[in-house]
Chains A and B, each alone.
Chain A
Amino acid sequence: MFAYIVRRLLYAPLILIGVNLLTFALFFVVNTPDDMARMQLGAKRVTPEAIERWKVERGYDKPLLLNAGAQGLARVTDTIFFEKSLRMFAFDFGRADDGRDIATEIRTRMRPSLAVAVPTFVLGLFVTVSLALLLVFFRGTYLDFQGVVLCVAMMSISSLFYIIGGQWLVSKVWHLVPISGYGEGVDNARFLVLPVLIGVVAGIGGSARWYRTIFLEEAGKDYVRTARAKGLSELQALFRHVLKNGMIPILTGVVVVIPSLFMGSLLTESFFGIPGLGSYTIDAINAQDFPVVRAMVFIGSVFYIIGLIFTDLSYTLVDPRVKLQ
């Protein structure tokens, strides 16, 4: 067990190096800094001097991998690869195109992202698991069939429509909450209700149907039949046995996304004007702010890898049958 965790932890940096190399290749090898400068400055009226200045300002004027002109260690460190890619391992992301420090920005924007993502996640899990159990309780009946049809229909609606429709109905027609915005303190709740609600509703279709199949599989097993045979009511069997064992694949499946909650949701945050990491990413994509996109790719994979390790751990914690070696 301990050896397994150590091995996983050692594997993590290896994956991060892969991510790092991939982003480096994407951002600096596919297109040279010259191409990017030309694009950022606009195709017209672009002089070699302007390109050179743009590159110097951002530190892109160095050689990619090996600085032949420098001495000693600087041959390796005074390069784009070291300055822009390797420094990310120390969570030093440099500056965005507007001159702000990316690391500070990420730290301040994490809170709003979490304020939306955590309630959505917890509430969503609770609602979908309850619905799935309900469908399993009524399995084989007309209600179950209709529920599954509803789930498939809900899955088929783009999340864009959930957000647009929700904003229109709740904010514009009913005037219940503001359309978008973000505040501080208790007052903030009125801004968060709608995004959380929409996030939960949008996730119901896919998850509830998936959990239903998991619970159904569990409910058909021998030990549940035994439980019924010894006189447990259907409800008792569901809650004591099916729910408990069905939660194993569900929990281990969702653990992987928990660390990624920091990343926020791109769509929700940009529609509701929440100053989190999601809207930060969208703004960076629209402004073609490459340093920010690079930093978010790196951070995102760090969180994902943490999630993977958590998943492995949760298997052993929740399911005593699993032994990791």
Chain B
Amino acid sequence: MMGGQAVFLWTDLLLFGLVGCITLAGLAARRSEPMRAAWRRVGESTVGMVSITILALFLVVGLLDSVHYREYLAPGAGASPDAQRVLGTEVRSGLDAFAAPLRTRVEKTYSAPLSYRLFAKQTQEAADGSQQRDFPRLKFGGAHLQYPDEDHAGDVLGRIGLGLALAACAWGVFAGGLVQAVAWSRGVPLGAAWRAVWRGKGGLAWRAVLATLGVLCLILGPVLALATEYHVFGTDKVGQDVLFLTLKSIRTALVIGTLTTLVTLPLAVALGIMAGYLGGWVDDVIQYVYTVLNSIPGVLLIAAAVLMMQVVIDTHPHWFETSAERADARLLALCVILGMTSWTGLCRLLRGETLKLRELEYVQAARAFGVSTARILSRHILPNLMHLVLIALVMDFSGLVLAEAVLSYVGIGVDPNTVSFGTMINAARMELAREPMVWWSLIAAFIFMFVLVLAANLFADVVRDAFDPRA
């Protein structure tokens, strides 16, 4: 272990800050009975708990990938032991360290999922010195097989079996822990708690959580067992493991999906409430601003802003110490730009709602008592808008994840060095024309993105139904 130095990228700090804020808000919400009731409705819904479980898994991967550090370089041969240690320029993350085998086992070029041979024929020297064109063995994938042609299928099946067995054990531990927790929180014996969960009467929809975890374990177990020796989703053009790339993409998607809303919220809330409550010229100005922003087609405004930001970044290379910092700055800038172009919808919604609230008796009474405007806004208006803000937050997430892929395809998304679903699809698209086709990176990106966005969409629906009094 050489040790390293923690690196705090801006998006890391904001992401963890956001998680902290949500935790605090959650603790605060526990004291409010309507909020608790709404969240209980989410928790009692099967769909809600299934999507929460899946999103939590994505979140864990994303947060693990948001802990960054730089390793010290190994001292050169003959260097004195007390020489100044030098930091490497490469910024690693917790996920990189955790999945080091996936990251470091780089093949020469494409290889199919679970394959032990390269995807392209290459001229190589046989044992007797003659030249022949064949598919060479992979450096890492299936390298432990001595007679791959005979043993490959058996080895793969064996590993899948092992993975399934591990999955069953892991699920058993999860289920045991969960039932224990339910039993403990209700003060009933373990058997009773198990029966309650099994019949779907465990309070929240724990049965759905267990079922989801079971399915996830059944998929993840074999994948993990296979990933130790094979490339489960194959390798890409430069031989990187596609599974690793998809795991890295999760963080980018989460950052775009959440931080953008973080940028949007203060603007939309402040301006929307001001326009709605104060009226008059303030309303006129704010309406004018958002009509102007709205009237520019979103993609074009984003394109214009991103092109300009690119010029700023390119003309100031000295701002960034490492390429990871530059890519991170670009990611953050993209979030800001997306946020600046998308706050108008929520702002208009909040303005309309504030217009309604302003006329209600209790607000008028507060005004008649001489309560200051600032206090009315923070005590009477804002809390009654929070459910709209929350709904907007979860509803926007999936759209933003999808938008990132499209923008990266158009060339105005994340930095080309940042791994994201968009850059993966973009790279994979070129390969569809090859014969035979390289399909695995596309499929991998599709599966991960689909599951993430689907879970987010379902979660958003449940949250909307639980929090929107009109629904």
- Chain A residues within CB distance 8 Å of chain B: 14-15, 18-19, 22-23, 26-27, 30-31, 35-36, 38-39, 43, 152-153, 155-161, 164, 167-168, 172, 260, 263, 266-267, 270, 281-282, 285-286, 288, 290, 293-294, 296-297, 300-301, 304-305, 308
Contact = CB atoms under 8 A, between A and B. Distances in A.
A288 B405 contact: no
Contacts of A305: 295
A297 B406 contact: no
Given A15-B288, A281-B303, A39 B454 contact: no
A54 to B, nearest CB: 14
B453 A156 contact: yes
B406 A158 contact: yes
* B contact residues, range: 35 or more
B397 to A, nearest CB: 12
A116 B289 CA distance: 33
Contacts of B293: 22
B219 to A, nearest CB: 18
Interface of B: 288-289, 291-297, 299-301, 303-305, 307-308, 310-312, 314-315, 398, 402, 405-406, 409-412, 421, 425, 429, 432, 442, 446, 449-450, 453-454, 457-458, 461
A157 B292 contact: no
A267 B410 CA distance: 8
Q: Chain B interface mostly helix, strand, loop or mixed?
A: helix
A300 B461 contact: no
Q: Which 8 A-B pairs have the closest CB atoms?
A: A18-B292, A300-B297, A156-B454, A156-B453, A301-B295, A304-B295, A31-B311, A297-B300
B457 A156 contact: yes
Contacts of B295: 15, 19, 301, 304-305, 308
A35 B402 CA distance: 32
A170 to B, nearest CB: 13
B405 A152 contact: no
A168 B300 contact: no
Contact of B297 (A30, A260, A294): A260
Given A31-B311, A267-B409, A293-B300, A164 B454 contact: no
B401 to A, nearest CB: 9
A270 B311 CA distance: 24
B296 to A, nearest CB: 5
B5 to A, nearest CB: 30
B297 A288 contact: no
Contacts of A39: 310-311, 314-315
Given A27-B308, A30-B312, A152-B454, A22 B296 contact: yes
Contacts of B310: 39
A308 B289 CA distance: 16
A305 B304 CA distance: 19
